[in-house]
Chains A and B, each alone.
Chain A
Amino acid sequence: MSATTESTGRRVLDALRRDPLAVGGTIVLVLLVVVGVAGPWLAPAGVNDVDVDQMLRPPSGAHPFGTDELGRDVLSRVLVAARVSLQVGAVSVGIALVAGVTLGLFAGYYRGWLDSVLMRCMDVLFAFPVLLLAVAIVAVLGPGLLTAMVAIGVVYTPIFARITRAGVLSVREQVFVRAAVSIGASDVRIMRRHVLPNIAAPLIVQTSLSLAFAILSEAALSFLGLGIQPPAPAWGRMLFDGRGFVTDAWWLGVFPGAAIFLTVLAFNLVGDALRDVLDPRQLTLGEARRSTT
């Protein structure tokens, strides 16, 4: 496993390095992670340092992104909010990945009634508009960071379940799976050791793309007041709070909006590049197997 992962990893890196968009996206993502980890230390001021004398000041040397209606430093709030966005992205996509891959593995491997039941449930979830479903879940569980993450995780589970199932359906027909059965390997062992590694590529791509959508969904939920609760900073919430001042204080909306835009763009660029690099190989591998069987 390690050698292939290594060589595949190196090949992917080489290919990504030749794609300027992917390089740009990766740089943004690295910066974002640094800000997410070190945000509170990088911030020039406290996120809740209210200073009514300094309210609604435009960008200046002291406040590069200006101040909000309570005189809080917008730059500091944008920097600190990065952690929330990344956390929501990672946790919610993590939930979707684990749940979706597990469901997809069992549905695709065992087929039959289990497949029908699981995938019809996924279809129902899939049929809802993403945000509507998330809002409904938050409405049931109550607003807050944790419920936002769970809601977004549930919303993106069907995508992972479908991708996984589709991959399992083709891999389970491969002779090497039959060989593993003939050896006496258990179903769980076959799924973990033989099926999953062979469907990893599309899942990696989907993970990076979903991170972008999850962050966007969190922003939307926060905008609606259903995500993280004030006074903790979140990009979506800052957009919402700034909307009343849009004609007088453009910086309240522009900077958090730009942060969302850059983050989502970066994940999308990297995800697209990964798809370009990983998918052709998957195709040729699949074709090679098909032509020899």
Chain B
Amino acid sequence: MSADTPDVVAELDDLKVHFPTPAGTVRAVDGVSLAVRRGETLGLVGESGSGKSTAGLALLRLVDPTAGRVRVAGADVTLWSRRRLRATRRHVAMVFQDPQASLDPRRTVGDSIAEPLIVHRLAASTAARRARVAELLDLVGLRADTAGRYPHELSGGQRQRVGVARALAGEPDLIVLDEPIASLDLSVQAQIMNLLRHLQRDLGLTYLFIAHDLAAVEHMSDRIAVMYLGRIVETGPPERIYRHPAHPYTAALLSAVPVADPRVERERRRIVLTGDIPSPVDPPSGCRFRTRCPQARPACAETDPALAEVGPGHDAACLFPLDGERDGGVGEGATTRADAAGTA
């Protein structure tokens, strides 16, 4: 996968983001490669502290990479200055987790949505800008007169719609969705998910969808990448990830998804991970997951496994990948739950 591949809109290549702290160097992202292809949704899943958000921010160069490369729209922007990056920022937009915090409380909804239009000079006149803002508000299901209101006058769901409208304004090649529904009420979560899905269908959008659980991204994603402690441990199409997870960490994440069917739920086998995610200052030797892995063997402390193919388009970083059909119907359960939320 390289920048020459025409359908790759943005990619990280062996990216490392390390933060110096008094306690030592935090290896938030420690060698992540991923490429987002035009028109797809790549789901990036991991616990808090896995580095998934940092990877997303690195794609926008909102954090400075320690090593590796960031390519956007075919250009290597790894070392670009803030000033030089400004023009390319149109290509990648971001929807933040907390819409309340990501909207300036002192600016109207219209001002916030118009900002990309002003910054990138995308509207010829004030009237054209206003018309475009109204169009964007309509796209995300808000009334045109919302433009004159302030964020504090809106509900959480409405605010996130504004966040989405702002991301759409510059017609970006890629939208990074950083847990866009995590801070919303359950009923509103489903609405925003539906909005994102419809927008993608109608406008041919490309998403990097960052989430902390697999259930959230299952129905959105064309491909899924699971992160643990600064690394991608498994990546593949959702039907493989959900039915045949090869990495024990993915299996554990899946088993944590409750099932709506009580019959299935009773038979569900939970893999309970013990302990917390280890400190990214001092990751375990060998496989990073071995300290919490139910399948860990002595060899796991020796070798740091690289991503290796375990199926078609399906890679896992495990010395002893799981195989065979998953039992307990967890994948089905996840489906049921997400469907229930989707129709709520």
A176 x B108 contact (CB < 8 A) = no
Segment from B2-10, B113-121, B315-323 that makes contact with A: B113-121
Distance (Å) between the CB of A185 and the closest chain B CB? 5
| Contact of B115 with A180 in the complex, beta carbons under 8 Å | yes
In the complex, are the beta carbons of A3 and B148 less than 8 A apart?
A: yes
Q: Which residue of B lies closest to A186 (CB)?
A: B86
How far apart sit A1 and B109, CA to CA, in the bound complex (Å)? 10
Q: Are B116 and A1 in touch, CB under 8 angstroms?
A: no
Asked if A182 contacts B101 (CB within 8 A), the reply is no
- Whether A184 contacts B106 in the complex (CB less than 8 A), given A175-B98, A175-B101, A289-B100, comes out as no
**Cα of A201 to Cα of B165 in the assembled complex, Å:** 30
Mark interface residues in A175-191 (1 if CB within 8 Å of B CB, else 0): 11011111111110100
User: Quick one: which of B85-124 are within 8 Å of A by CB?
Assistant: 85-90, 92-94, 96, 98, 100-108, 111, 115-116, 119-120
Interface 9-residue window, one of A64-72, A93-101, A192-200:
A192-200
Judge whether A4 is part of the interface by a CB distance below 8 angstroms: yes
Q: Report if A175-B86 is in contact (Cβ < 8 Å); known contacts: A1-B108, A183-B170, A185-B119.
A: no
Verify B101–A183 contact, CB threshold 8 A.
no
With A and B bound together, what is the CA distance between A193 and B93 in angstroms? 20
- Whether the pair B103, A176 counts as a contact (CB closer than 8 A) is yes
- A293 contacts B105, C-beta separation under 8 Å: no
CB pair B106 A175 closer than 8 Å? no
| A residues in contact with B92, CB < 8 Å | 182
How many residues on the A side are at the interface (Cβ–Cβ under 8 A)?
26
Q: Are B100 and A292 in contact (CB under 8 A)?
A: yes
Q: Does A117 contact B (CB under 8 A)?
A: no
Partner among A175, A184, A285, A288 whose Cβ is within 8 Å of the Cβ of B90? A184
Which of A3, A175, A184, A193 lies in contact with B96, CB distance below 8 A?
A175
In the complex, whether B62 has a CB less than 8 A from a CB of chain A is: yes
Q: Are A293 and B89 in contact (CB under 8 A)?
A: no
Binding site for B on A (CB under 8 A): 1, 3-4, 174-176, 178-187, 189, 193-194, 197-198, 285, 288-289, 292-293
> Told that A1-B107, A4-B150 touch, could you supply 17 new A-B pairs with CB distance under 8 A?
A1-B111, A3-B148, A176-B104, A178-B62, A179-B94, A179-B103, A179-B166, A182-B62, A183-B115, A183-B166, A184-B85, A184-B120, A185-B115, A193-B107, A197-B104, A198-B105, A292-B101
- Chain B contact residues, CB within 8 Å of chain A: 60, 62, 82, 85-90, 92-94, 96, 98, 100-108, 111, 115-116, 119-120, 148, 150, 166, 170, 183
Pull 26 A–B residue pairs with CB atoms less than 8 Å apart, ordered by A.
Answer: A1-B107, A1-B108, A4-B106, A174-B101, A175-B96, A175-B98, A175-B101, A176-B101, A176-B104, A178-B62, A178-B102, A179-B94, A179-B96, A182-B60, A182-B62, A182-B89, A182-B92, A183-B93, A183-B170, A184-B90, A186-B86, A187-B82, A194-B106, A194-B107, A198-B104, A293-B101
